[in-house]
Structure 1
Amino acid sequence: MAWTWKTAYRSFYYATAPEPDDIALDPATTAVLVIDIQNTYVAEPEDPEEAARWRPFLDRMRDVVIPNTVALAADARARGVEVLFARIACQTQDGRDRSLSQKKPGFNNLLLPKDGEASQLVPDLQPQGDEITVLKTTDSALTGTNLRLILHNLGIRTVICAGIFTDQCVSSTVRSLADESFDVLIVDDCCAAATDDLHRHELEVLNMIYGHVVRLEDIAGFFAA
């Protein structure tokens, strides 16, 4: 069966739900938000075993997520749609201003000072002109920033989300946006989790409740509707 966002990624809760209405986007009230596509996450691990473990994610980032997000941002700019960025970055060198979720031991123990190379957005996804970037020490791009106020001041009603990780910062941001009554689109092929299973599962959880899961190929049709 051909892909259609109206029936894909259905969780148990929505397995029997009717198809959603068509989506019609207004460039004046729509924004693209690129979440945490930063140097630290695409760097090759030094340990060969870790490099092999992360290979599927790194390949997806290189071959799918980054080029598709570049295309998403370029299309948005051509339509006059706001493009915004969020990145994990602390204000202090020792990270004492980080939230607890980014101080706990393990993968999410993130020390990314704002001026360090590791915390910067990848070269292919740099803001252009006066595009806005928010710095966060939280998973949600709304919780620890003034992004909600920025979106409100820009007159935004719909946010198209891309970035990483699907099951962490993307998910937290999408949920926060939905709680603040923004319409949200999550672009499947502009996002990644550490594994495809985690990515697919989280999209099922988010879909229809917190937003609609779509693909890059769908976006142009939404603006044409």
Structure 2
Amino acid sequence: MNWKTAWRSFYYAEAPEPADPVLARDSTALLVIDVQNTYVERPPRESLSTIEQARWDTWTPFHERMRDTVIPNTAALIERFRREGMEVLFARIACQKPDGRDRSLSQKKPGWNYLLLPKDEHASQIVAELAPRSDEIVVCKTTDSALTGTNLRLLLSNMGIRTVVVVGIFTDQCVSSTVRSLADESFDVLVIEDCCAAGSSELHERELEIINMIYCHVLRRAELEALLTRPCQ
């Protein structure tokens, strides 16, 4: 099973296979979403209480996927786009005010989604393995969607971008919200499955089925790279 038949919900079980996307080098960009220090760094397990250790263990599969799959694949994809002379952009959660009063409501609600990440603090920075180059655009957002509340839509339009390749975290939250916003703005969107992660594999896989075929097409990194090798792109 390849990307044309995988990740289908029952809505699209009988839909015809999509055509290969056209990845023109001057109108295709890679967008890396929220791969920030706060999500990959955590304290030593032995320093935590019993309750905290249980939660630490719950998140271990996510951290292993980030370390072994998402970050290495994303780093390789970034380098491929750079070699091809294609645009690489980044979005990160970062508020302008130290007390976070400029955040959207979704980031102020209590619980796991409560996010206070001032823009200059270590926690809000892109991880070192994926560090942007000086000429690569980074937008700061206090929303789930990278288009809502930033000028990313205008920047993509100004650069003539029509196809956006999306990677990052979390598949079921900021990645999904951004993908839906891009689709609503009539961008062609590709999501790279093995460059994304959610809090659990179940959430990751279910969200891919939900957004595939209507808001985007879901591919693996190797499938995207094979398309990039095609001539006359």
Q: Same fold (TM over 0.5)?
A: yes
Q: Give yes or no for the alignment of 1:92 onto 2:97.
A: yes
CA deviation digits over 1:66-98, x for unaligned, max 9? 000000100000001100000000001100000
Alpha-carbon separation, structure 2, partners of 1:180 and 1:193: 25
Q: Give yes or no for the alignment of 1:69 onto 2:74.
A: yes
Q: What TM-score do you get using the length of structure 2 for normalisation?
A: 0.94
The residue type paired with residue 122 of structure 2 is E
Q: How many residues align?
A: 223
Alpha-carbon separation, structure 2, partners of 1:224 and 1:126: 25
- After the TM superposition, list the runs of 4 or more consecutive aligned residues in structure 1 that deviate by more than 3 angstroms: none
Equivalent residues in 2 for 1:136-151 (5 A)? 136-151=141-156
Residue 164 of structure 2 corresponds to 159
Equivalent position to 2:227, from 204, 214, 222: 222
Alpha-carbon separation, structure 2, partners of 1:137 and 1:158: 24
Equivalent position to 1:123, from 128, 131, 134: 128
Is the 8 Å Cα contact of residues 24 and 223 (structure 1) preserved in structure 2? no
Residue 30 of structure 1 corresponds to 28
Residue 171 of structure 1 corresponds to 176
Residue 15 of structure 1 corresponds to 13
State the shift of 1:59 in Å. 0.2
Q: Give yes or no for the alignment of 1:79 onto 2:84.
A: yes
Identity %: 65
Is the 8 Å Cα contact of residues 112 and 118 (structure 1) preserved in structure 2? yes
Alpha-carbon separation, structure 2, partners of 1:12 and 1:81: 35
Alpha-carbon separation, structure 1, partners of 2:229 and 2:41: 38
The residue type paired with residue 39 of structure 1 is N
Which sections of structure 2, spanning at least 5 residues, go unmatched? none
The residue type paired with residue 14 of structure 2 is T
Equivalent position to 1:59, from 64, 81, 85: 64
Alpha-carbon separation, structure 2, partners of 1:224 and 1:43: 35
The residue type paired with residue 219 of structure 1 is L
Residue 105 of structure 1 corresponds to 110
State the shift of 1:221 in Å. 2.2
Q: Secondary structure at the match of 1:173?
A: helix
State the shift of 1:129 in Å. 2.9
State the shift of 1:194 in Å. 0.1
Alpha-carbon separation, structure 1, partners of 2:134 and 2:39: 25
